Chains A and B, each alone.
Chain A
Amino acid sequence: MERGKKIGSTGVGGGALVSGSGKRAFGTVLAALILCLIGIMAFSIRLFSVIKYESVIHEFDPYFNYRVTKYLTKAGIYEFWNWFDDRTWYPLGRVIGGTVYPGLTITAGTMWWILNAFNIPLSVETVCVFTAPIFSSFAAWATYLLTSEVKGRGAGLTAAALLAMVPSYISRSVAGSYDNEAVAIFALIFTFYLYVKTLNTGSLFYATLNALAYFYMVCSWGGYTFIINLIPMHVLLCIVTGRYSSRLYIAYAPLVILGTLLAALVPVVGFNAVMTSEHFASFLVFVIIHVAALAHYIKRVLSPKQYSTAVSFVITFGMYEPAALIAILAAMVAASPTKGWSGRSLSLLDPTYASKYIPIIASVSEHQPPTWPSYFMDINVLAFLVPAGIIACFLPLSDSSSFVVLYLVTSVYFSGVMVRLMLVLAPAACVLSGIALSEAFAVLTRSIKYQDLSEASLLAAVDSTATLNSTNENEASVKEVKDKAPKRGKKKTVEKEVEKKRKRLLGLPMEASAVGILLLIIMGSFYVVHCVWAAAEAYSAPSIVLTSQTPDGGLHVFDDFREAYAWLNHNTGEDDKVASWWDYGYQTTAMANRTVIVDNNTWNNTHIATVGTAMSSPERQAWEIFQSLDVKYVFVIFGGLVGYPSDDINKFLWMVRIGGGVFPHIREPDYLRDGHYRIDSQATPTMLNCLMYKLSYYRFAEADGKGYDRVRRTEIGKKYFKLNYFEEVFTTQHWMVRIYKLKPPRNLVSAVKSKKRFL
């Protein structure tokens, strides 16, 4: 049952010149060409960072994915699956095979392997850097498929063009941002497309493909729980609003069974697929859809009176077992302290949860709620078009358009909780804006096209408009008009119908339509200009290399991070352990190739709290903690000399909070003066004596004579002090990374001290 591809609604080809099938062929070729161009645009708009800086992997998490991909390409899939990494979380190690989402690394590894099989010798780093732009082209094409299933080809092309450029998606998929979202957003949109396609056609083939696409999504990102909760919500909505059909059953039931099995196959998820609350909604709706199917079957075979007696029978007698089952289930869920949800999901449902119970989740900057301007920055013009799109989805309401509206509403809620989830909102916003823009263009161009016409051509116009709209009711009413005319043979009735159709077609006068089209095009150009600016200026920074403008207009490059990692790589022993705050763990293992204590995976809060406590303690206690962890080198990030604001002193409050959460002798008020963290002369003695202060500001007063911290904008409190347990081994060019070595424990006790003891 083909809902079919419709011709683009902007009047392709002069009607008199080209026949119907010719029009369709021309439309297909044009659409294919446009899709190619959209793919190229999606790829090239993400290349700003490669042009402005170099082809380098950005930020922190991508370095871990890069290291895993390198291991996969070197050692093969079986070694990768069973890999136990002892270079991180010393002395605990990390089971990589069981705790990583393998989709991204396996995708990039496969691409590298295929290219090498064709003797195209691209390095693993190049493949990793360019994975995200390639998959954003695929995501744009998937958006085209999804939107054309909902509303037709014109809407599909518009939505694809919007998604190729939307800044929110660009921010997580520039060339070099080798992170899970790069492939996960493509998998998300593609899974939704296959679900809507199955819903529209009722074909089991697409249901199988849907389950396989969902499997790819589970492999790629932890956000797959969004899919497995959104689709049951939509099925429930359809059942409750009376839209149950066998296509709905075919779209949902195989997905639940196959999807659960496939999700359980991925080691990261494992048995969580059947035991955590994130998946309970799918099972609950699975039961509900079977009840609804049975009810429909019985309704079909019984007479209405018997059906009502059956319903009353079931309600009086049959409610006890389900009630008992629900009571048991509720008791089991209530028994667990988090009601079966994981910490991350709970922090999404209750935005205040993380700040109360899990400081680590609350400390990540991506997990903060977004500000209002960030909506305008990230989805720009789409913020205005989305409400229009919602209205367009209701005219008429079909299963697929209700799904898209539900997707938008839920993603708007989640994007309000965490700024990182603006990314999930972006495809929904693009789909609905594409629908809105396409419908607006359709109305305006139709008004211009059918300005002054005779009756017969009006009826012809009504026919062609009816094939352009994707509604059955319009066709039925058109057929009605045609049937009525010869049957009744009364001119008056036909005239009345024609007048009604004329009123419906010619909504607007010609000048208003022309101005409207012009304004829409201008709005589109504002969007394009903003997206290109956002891609070039705001989202292309690799954050491992910084640049700034010199007063004479040149470019000054701060490459301190790589300088420090290269120093560590060349000047320390192979098995030396390096301690730092967890932000830099992935980069240290990937670039410096040294064992670290904690890294960005943050799976062990106590271990991180140990490092945080060490950074907050006085020198001797910190040395003892690090000595117990076999640490040889400690490094801190310091931005005071150049004004780099994301340094460890600014992150210090989290070290205190996380450390204090586990070790009660670290009390946050000890470090605060009037409720603020200070490092100037007003700072508390605990603050001035802690390791972080000492390691950051050791010999800092010698650098500029006054010890003026450019980030905190004040002179430091304690300027001249010695380090007794650490020695400075390396400071980078702009003092951004400062590496210290632990002094070995003393061999001899000093003679003075021993004399005092014996006397």
Chain B
Amino acid sequence: MDDARALVTSLRSAYTATPTKLKLIDLYVAYAVITAIVQTLFMAVVGSFPFNAFLSGVLSCVGTAVLAVCLRMQVNKANKEFKDLPPERAFADFVLCNLVLHLVIMNFLG
């Protein structure tokens, strides 16, 4: 049990040390995932018709979460693979990919 508590505290201290920019992105990711879970619970209550609306809703939330995680990886200064990628370029890619995702979602919503 002591081990578990020590683990949790070390995880928490390591996380508070991350820069604010990344914590914002993490918050956005958490928000998207929670929205997806809420939508799934709603579907479990009222049924899955029309299925394409449910699918597009859940996948848009999960999609923005995944893209935000990709952005976080590219913007994170501790990540050596992306040290010569300017963060503006990473953000521009993120916006482009989100545009494509939401265009597809709007098409699929029906």
Residues on A close to B: CB < 8 A? 1, 202-205, 207-208, 211-212, 245-247, 249-250, 253-254, 257-258, 260-262, 264-265, 271, 274, 293, 298, 300-303, 306, 309-310, 313
Any A CB within 8 A of the CB of B94: yes
Cβ of B104 and Cβ of A204 under 8 Å apart? Answer: no
Cβ of A254 and Cβ of B66 under 8 Å apart? Answer: yes
Task: Please give, as numbers and ranges, the residues of chain B lying within 8 Å of A302 by CB-CB distance.
Answer: 7, 10-11, 14
Please report the C-alpha to C-alpha distance between residue A265 and residue B78 in the assembled complex, in whole angstroms.
Answer: 39
Per a CB cutoff under 8 Å, which of A207, A246, A298, A313 touches B3?
Answer: A313
Cβ of B63 and Cβ of A258 under 8 Å apart? Answer: yes
Any A CB within 8 A of the CB of B25: no
A309 in contact with B81 given A204-B70, A264-B108 (CB within 8 Å) = no
Please report the C-alpha to C-alpha distance between residue A355 and residue B52 in the assembled complex, in whole angstroms.
Answer: 36
- Chain A: minimal CB distance from B33 (Å): 11
Cβ of A211 and Cβ of B81 under 8 Å apart? Answer: no
A202 in contact with B82 given A257-B66, A309-B7 (CB within 8 Å) = yes
A204 in contact with B97 given A261-B108, A302-B11, A306-B6 (CB within 8 Å) = yes
Residue of B nearest to A293 (CB): B69
Task: Please give, as numbers and ranges, the residues of chain B lying within 8 Å of A208 by CB-CB distance.
Answer: 93, 96-97, 100
Cβ of B97 and Cβ of A254 under 8 Å apart? Answer: yes
Task: Please give, as numbers and ranges, the residues of chain A lying within 8 Å of B101 by CB-CB distance.
Answer: 257-258, 261
Cβ of A257 and Cβ of B63 under 8 Å apart? Answer: yes
Task: Please give, as numbers and ranges, the residues of chain A lying within 8 Å of B104 by CB-CB distance.
Answer: 258, 261-262, 265
Q: Can you name 30 A-B residue pairings with CB atoms under 8 Å?
A: A204-B74, A204-B90, A204-B94, A204-B97, A205-B93, A208-B96, A208-B97, A211-B100, A212-B100, A246-B73, A246-B81, A249-B70, A257-B66, A258-B63, A258-B97, A258-B101, A260-B59, A261-B101, A261-B108, A262-B104, A264-B52, A264-B55, A264-B108, A265-B104, A265-B107, A271-B52, A293-B69, A302-B7, A302-B10, A302-B11
Task: Please give, as numbers and ranges, the residues of chain A lying within 8 Å of B96 by CB-CB distance.
Answer: 204-205, 208
Chain B residues bordering chain A, tally (CB within 8 A):
39
Task: Please give, as numbers and ranges, the residues of chain A lying within 8 Å of B59 by CB-CB distance.
Answer: 257, 260-261
- Chain A: minimal CB distance from B3 (Å): 5
CB within 8 Å of A: which B23-76 residues: 51-52, 55-56, 59, 62-63, 66-67, 69-71, 73-74
Please report the C-alpha to C-alpha distance between residue A264 and residue B110 in the assembled complex, in whole angstroms.
Answer: 12
Please name 11 further chain A to chain B contacts, defined as beta carbons within 8 Å, in addition to the given A204-B94, A208-B96, A306-B6, sorted by A numbering. A1-B81, A1-B84, A208-B97, A253-B66, A258-B104, A261-B56, A261-B59, A262-B104, A264-B52, A300-B78, A303-B10
- Chain A: minimal CB distance from B34 (Å): 16
Please report the C-alpha to C-alpha distance between residue A218 and residue B74 in the assembled complex, in whole angstroms.
Answer: 29
- Chain B: minimal CB distance from A639 (Å): 50
Please report the C-alpha to C-alpha distance between residue A300 and residue B73 in the assembled complex, in whole angstroms.
Answer: 13
Per a CB cutoff under 8 Å, which of A261, A265, A274, A303 touches B63?
Answer: A261
Cβ of B10 and Cβ of A306 under 8 Å apart? Answer: yes
Per a CB cutoff under 8 Å, which of B55, B85, B107 touches A274?
Answer: B55
Per a CB cutoff under 8 Å, which of A207, A247, A265, A313 touches B7?
Answer: A313
Please report the C-alpha to C-alpha distance between residue A672 and residue B49 in the assembled complex, in whole angstroms.
Answer: 53
Any A CB within 8 A of the CB of B20: no
Please report the C-alpha to C-alpha distance between residue A204 and residue B93 in the assembled complex, in whole angstroms.
Answer: 6
Please report the C-alpha to C-alpha distance between residue A211 and residue B99 in the assembled complex, in whole angstroms.
Answer: 13
Task: Please give, as numbers and ranges, the residues of chain A lying within 8 Å of B67 by CB-CB distance.
Answer: 204, 254
Cβ of A253 and Cβ of B69 under 8 Å apart? Answer: yes
